[in-house]
Amino acid sequence: FISIQAFPALLDFPQEQEVSKVSCGSRHTAAITRDGDLYTWGWGKYGQLGHEDTGSSDQQRRVEALAAQGLRAEDVVCGPWTTYVCVREQRGSR
């Protein structure tokens, strides 16, 4: 069961993570930290959370696929069933 709420709710990010951008879709949310990590949560039926599955989550999860490819998230826009992320290669990667 995933709790889909139509009102704001507090989330605890690790203390060292400072959120710089947030976007909300119909039933999911994405946030970028100042370090360029992308976190997503909510309804994931169409893979819009980016966790390489169609699972849903009440808690934010880091999108590991970006970090694994040496990519830094710079901007994010959530659509009704999609998430668009602007990324940049991190210096010294690859």
Q: Is residue 4 part of a domain?
A: no
Q: Which band of pLDDT confidence, cut at 50, 70 and 90, is reported for residue 2?
A: low
Which pLDDT does position 23 carry in this prediction? Answer: 96
In a domain, 58, yes or no: yes
- 55 domain-assigned: yes
- Averaged pLDDT, 56-85: 94
Is 7 among the domain residues?
no
Overall number of domains in the chain? 1
Higher pLDDT, 53 or 9: 53
CB 34 within 8 A of CB 73: no
Can you give the pTM of this predicted structure? 0.86
Residue 6 falls inside a structural domain: no
Tell whether 10 is covered by a domain: no
pLDDT-derived band at 85 (thresholds 50, 70, 90) equals very high
Q: Which residues span the domain enclosing 84?
A: 19-89
Does 13 reside within a domain?
no
Report how far residue 40's alpha carbon sits from residue 71's, in angstroms, rounded to the nearest whole number: 16
